[in-house]
C-alpha cells in the first residue's frame, strides 16, 4: 500500500532530534510522500533542508500562513513570490484565514489569501487552505477567484456537509486527519455523506495526533491509523482507502507513483 501525507510540518522544532528516524518510520509503513506546507520566511530554510535530504519523499509548498500575517505581510509575500521563481514547489500553502488566534490583521489576511491564490493561478499550482473559524469567508474568496482551473486541498476540514459540498464544487479536496478519530468529531457523518472520492489524508504533524496517540506528538507514520478510521466509517478496506486517497492526492499535486 502507498499512502500520501498531504500536510505535515516535518521541519518543526519538535522533530529536531529525530527527523530522519521519523521520516523513515513513515516510509516503512507505506507513507511514501509527505507534503510540507510553509509558514513564513523563518520556516523556508529548515523545510528546504529536508526537501534536499529526502528529495523523493518530502516535498515542499510555498506560502504565507494566515497566523503569520502581520503589518509586514507584503514583504513576506515578496519572499514567497521570489522563491516561486527559484525552484519547484508543489502547491501554494498553507494559505487562508484564521479568526481563532487573532483578528487584528484579518483584513491583511484576506488580502494575502487573495494574492496567493493569484500566485497559484499564475504558476499553475494548487492551493492548500488553512481555515479556522473562517470557512464561509474562505469559500467566498475561493469562489470569487475560481476561473475554472483552480484546485487544491481544504486542509483539516471541520465544517458542515453543506460547506464540504460547496468546496468540492469549487475544485477542492477535503483534508482528513486525526480529528476524524476523536470521539466527539462530526467528521464521520461528513465523510459518509461526501464519500471517499473527495478526500485526501493528512496528519498536520506535529499537531492533532489521532487516537490512540492523541495528546502526543503527531507524525506521518500515523497516516495508516487515520486511513483505518476512514475505512471503518465508509465500510471499505484500508487498501481501498489507501489507493483512492493516494490517487486523489496525485490529482492535486500532479506526481504519480510509478
Show Cβ contacts of residue 143 under 8 Å, excluding neighbours closer than 6 positions. 166, 170
Asked if residue 213 belongs to a domain, the reply is yes
- Alpha-carbon gap, residue 223 to 47, rounded angstroms: 20
Asked if residue 198 belongs to a domain, the reply is yes
pLDDT 10s digits, 112-169: 999 999 999 999 999 999 999 999 999 999 999 999 999 999 999 999 999 999 999 9
pLDDT 10s digits, 245-255: 999 999 999 87
Does pLDDT of 213 surpass 90?
yes
CA 178 to each of CA 46, 103, 206: distance values in angstroms, whole numbers, following the listed order = 25, 26, 11
pLDDT 10s digits, 11-48: 999 999 999 999 999 999 999 999 999 999 999 999 99
Q: How many domains does the chain have?
A: 1
Asked if residue 149 belongs to a domain, the reply is yes
CATH number of the domain within which 203 lies? 3.20.20.140
Note the pLDDT of residue 94. 97
CA 199 to each of CA 10, 96, 171, 248: distance values in angstroms, whole numbers, following the listed order = 22, 19, 12, 7
pLDDT 10s digits, 95-106: 999 999 889 999
Q: In what order do the strands lie in the sheet with 199-201?
A: 92-98, 127-132, 152-154, 172-176, 199-201
Domain hosting 136: range is 3-253
Note the pLDDT of residue 256. 64
* pLDDT band at 171; cut points 50, 70, 90: very high
pLDDT 10s digits, 56-72: 999 999 999 999 999 99
Asked if residue 258 belongs to a domain, the reply is no
Asked if residue 231 belongs to a domain, the reply is yes
- Alpha-carbon gap, residue 229 to 177, rounded angstroms: 10
* pLDDT band at 2; cut points 50, 70, 90: very high
Task: State the chain's mean pLDDT as an integer.
Answer: 96
Q: How many CA atoms lie within 13 A of 43 on its CB side?
A: 22
Pairing of strands 92-98, 58-60: unpaired
Note the pLDDT of residue 257. 59
Instruction: Tell me the pTM.
Output: 0.97
Amino acid at each position: 500500500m502507498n499512502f500520501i501525507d498531504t500536510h505535515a510540518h516535518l521541519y518543526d522544532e519538535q522533530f529536531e532530534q529525530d527527523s530522519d528516524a521519523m521520516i523513515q518510520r513513515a516510509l516503512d509503513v507505506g507513507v511514501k510522500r509527505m507534503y510540507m506546507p510553509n509558514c513564513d520566511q523563518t520556516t523556508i530554510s529548515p523545510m528546504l533542508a529536508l526537501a534536499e535530504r529526502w528529495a523523493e519523499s518530502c516535498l515542499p509548498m510555498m506560502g504565507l500562513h494566515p497566523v503569520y500575517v502581520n503589518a509586514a505581510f507584503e514583504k513576506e509575500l515578496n519572499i514567497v513570490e521570489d522563491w516561486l521563481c527559484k525552484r519547484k514547489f508543489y502547491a501554494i500553502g498553507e494559505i487562508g484565514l484564521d479568526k481563532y488566534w487573532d483578528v487584528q490583521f484579518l483584513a491583511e489576511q484576506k488580502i494575502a489569501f487573495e494574492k496567493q491564490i493569484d500566485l497559484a493561478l499564475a504558476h499553475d499550482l494548487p492551493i492548500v487552505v488553512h481555515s479556522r473559524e473562517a470557512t464561509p469567508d474562505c469559500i467566498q474568496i475561493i469562489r470569487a477567484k475560481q476561473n475554472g482551473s483552480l484546485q487544491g486541498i481544504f486542509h483539516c476540514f471541520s465544517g458542515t456537509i453543506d460547506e464540504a459540498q460547496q468546496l468540492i464544487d469549487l475544485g477542492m479536496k477535503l483534508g482528513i486527519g486525526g480529528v476524524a478519530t476523536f470521539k466527539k468529531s462530526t467528521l464521520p457523518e461528513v465523510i459518509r455523506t461526501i464519500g471517499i472520492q473527495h478526500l485526501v489524508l493528512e496528519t498536520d504533524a506535529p499537531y492533532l495526533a489521532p487516537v490512540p496517540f492523541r495528546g502526543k506528538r503527531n507524525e506521518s507514520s500515523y497516516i495508516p491509523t487515520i486511513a483505518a478510521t476512514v475505512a471503518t466509517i465508509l465500510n471499505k478496506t484500508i487498501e481501498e482507502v489507501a489507493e483512492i486517497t493516494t490517487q486523489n492526492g496525485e490529482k492535486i499535486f500532479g506526481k504519480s507513483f510509478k
